């Protein structure tokens, strides 16, 4: 197994507006070899999906960005990278909570039972037919005990176990799990990635209510398309494929 993600590649910051923004500046200035990890004690404007902000109390959680140059991956297969990242973080969470139900909420939030413990924001740069680079922002709730934002269902390791965790040990374990999954991607082990991602998918094969294009529907998640669109079936046996902006989990 490679050791692309290790302590030698870590840039540590006390305070930064966003680790993803910092990563993009490194890339812009040609100072971002693959495997560079930016770790922040505090993010002042951490980003979530869309316009959402990522709440993280200073010094309590893992807030990091990873820079990759996955030029071995064709642009049409970029969702394989998203799967790989989500699985690496899920594996890390399972290393702490081995007996708990840990899921990937499509496309790549990490849940323990029905609560969100980690979020991922991936920004890919593709020029023509080449995958140039990827910046992967990761926020994992570790030691935070109270959340004050209007996020509906946050949870942390400490809230679940009552224990406090060493963030350096947690980061080391996360890098280990991420290395394993990225090796799978490099070695084109797509069947294993696809199998594990589907098996971890939140609400798979269960009838649930969703908001689809502004309308309430009852549907069942049955999979994810090759290009990362969520696939659902309805009671009328009609199949739906949708992107993040079209579907809402209720």
Whether 157 maps to a domain, the answer reads: yes
107-138 tens-digit pLDDT = 999 999 999 999 999 999 999 999 999 999 99
Cα dihedral 224→226→227→232 (10° resolution): -30
CA-CA distance, 213 to 106, in Å (whole number)?
17
Taking residues 95-104, report their average pLDDT.
Answer: 92
Confidence label for 46 from pLDDT (cuts 50, 70 and 90): low
Q: Does 2 fall in a domain?
A: no
Q: Are residues 195 and 87 in the same domain?
A: yes
Instruction: Report pLDDT digits (tens) over 132-174.
Output: 999 999 999 999 999 988 778 999 999 999 999 999 999 999 9
- Residue 56 resides in a domain: yes
Query: 188 pLDDT exceeds 70?
Result: yes
Are residue 37 and residue 146 in the same domain, yes or no? Answer: yes
d(CA 84, CA 50): 21
What's the pLDDT score for residue 47? Answer: 61
Q: In whole angstroms, what is the distance from residue 66 CA to residue 50 CA? A: 19
Residue 23 belongs to a domain with what CATH number?
Answer: 3.30.930.10
State the Cα–Cα distance between residues 180 and 157, nearest whole angstrom. Answer: 22
The number of angstroms, rounded, from the C-alpha of 245 to the middle of its chain's C-alpha atoms is 17
53 in a domain, yes or no? Answer: yes
**Domains in the chain: how many in total?**
2
Q: Global pTM?
A: 0.94
Whether residue 121 contacts residue 137, with contact meaning beta carbons closer than 8 Å, is answered with yes
Residue 139: helix, strand or coil by DSSP? strand
Half-sphere exposure of 167 (CA within 13 A, CB side): 18
Residue 52 lies in a domain: yes
Examine the domain organization and report whether 183 and 243 are in the same domain. no
Residue whose structure tokens are 């989990």? 249
Residue 5: per-residue pLDDT: 73
């Amino acid at each position: 197994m490679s050791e692309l993600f290790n302590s030698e590649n870590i840039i540590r910051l006390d305070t930064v507006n966003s680790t993803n923004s910092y990563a993009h500046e490194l890339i812009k200035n040609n100072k971002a070899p693959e495997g560079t990890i930016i770790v922040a004690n505090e993010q002042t404007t951490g980003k979530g999906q869309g316009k959402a902000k990522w709440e993280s109390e200073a010094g309590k959680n893992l807030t990091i960005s990873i820079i990759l140059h996955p030029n071995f991956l064709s642009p049409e297969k970029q969702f394989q990278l998203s799967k790989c990242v989500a699985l690496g973080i899920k594996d890390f969470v399972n290393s702490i909570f081995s007996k708990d139900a840990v899921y990937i909420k499509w496309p790549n939030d990490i849940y323990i039972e029905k609560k969100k413990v980690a979020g991922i924001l991936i920004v890919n740069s593709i020029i023509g037919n080449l995958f140039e680079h990827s910046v992967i922002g990761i926020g994992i709730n570790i030691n935070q005990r109270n959340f004050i934002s209007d996020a509906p269902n946050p949870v942390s390791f400490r809230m679940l176990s009552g224990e406090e965790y060493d963030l350096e040990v947690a980061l080391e374990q996360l890098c280990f799990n991420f290395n394993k999954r990225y090796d799978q991607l490099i070695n084109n082990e797509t069947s294993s990635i696809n199998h594990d991602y589907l098996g971890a998918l939140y609400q798979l094969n269960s009838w649930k209510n969703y908001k689809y294009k502004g309308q309430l529907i009852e549907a069942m998640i049955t999979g994810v398309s090759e290009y990362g669109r969520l696939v659902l079936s309805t009671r009328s046996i009609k199949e739906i494929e949708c992107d993040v902006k079209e579907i809402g989990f209720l």
